Amino acid sequence: MVRILGCGNILMGDDGVGVHVLGELRKMGLDAEILDAGTGGLDLVDLMAGADRVILIDAVRCGGEAGTVYRFSEKDIPRGREGVSLHDIGIPHAIELGRTLHPDRMPSTIVLIGVEIGRSEMGIGLTEKVKGAISVVVEMVKREVNSTR
């Protein structure tokens, strides 16, 4: 089973992009479980466990222009403060912890679709550049889901 996890905080502007994408994905009837992972952290370990494949969608800061969409395989997910997650425990650390604690329950494949953000201060709504990236993310996720068949 493919599990899609949208990460982010919709009260923090562009940081909520992963959650906003889920709304579009739910309309498509994909053969996947679609879950709001909130701000991630340690909860990601349990949310990933039990799936065959996981597609994470999250806000990133990789030095690109706001609205740029990246695809990272598990081994390529950047680590550290300037890397990916804007939440308490980073995505790479959650994956590592999950593989240590639940080696037999973690997915064989984990992919991160990241959207470069512009604004992550308190406020509801996405900037135009990040909002414009949603359709790109949806298409990438659709390809990822279909590539598992």
**Residue range 115-140, pLDDT digits in tens:** 999 877 788 889 999 999 999 999 99
pLDDT of residue 46: 93
Domain ranges, residue 140: 2-146
Q: How many structural domains does the chain have?
A: 1
The DSSP symbol for 42 reads T
Instruction: Give residue 74's pLDDT band: very low, low, confident or very high (50, 70, 90).
Output: very high
Percent of the chain with pLDDT over 70: 93
- Token representation of residue 29: 């009837």
Residues 26 and 34 sit within 8 Å (Cβ to Cβ)? yes
Alpha-carbon gap, residue 50 to 32, rounded angstroms: 13
Segment 49-77 shows an average pLDDT of: 94
Q: What is the reported pTM?
A: 0.90
The DSSP symbol for 36 reads E
Q: Could you read off the pLDDT of 11-46 as tens digits, one per residue?
A: 998 999 999 999 999 999 899 999 999 887 888 999
Angle at 29 between CA 111 and CA 18, to 5 degrees: 40
We report the CATH number of the domain holding residue 120 as: 3.40.50.1450
Instruction: Give residue 111's pLDDT band: very low, low, confident or very high (50, 70, 90).
Output: very high
pLDDT of residue 134: 97
Range list of β-strands (E), 32-120:
33-38, 53-60, 69-73, 109-116
Residues 13 and 127 sit within 8 Å (Cβ to Cβ)? yes
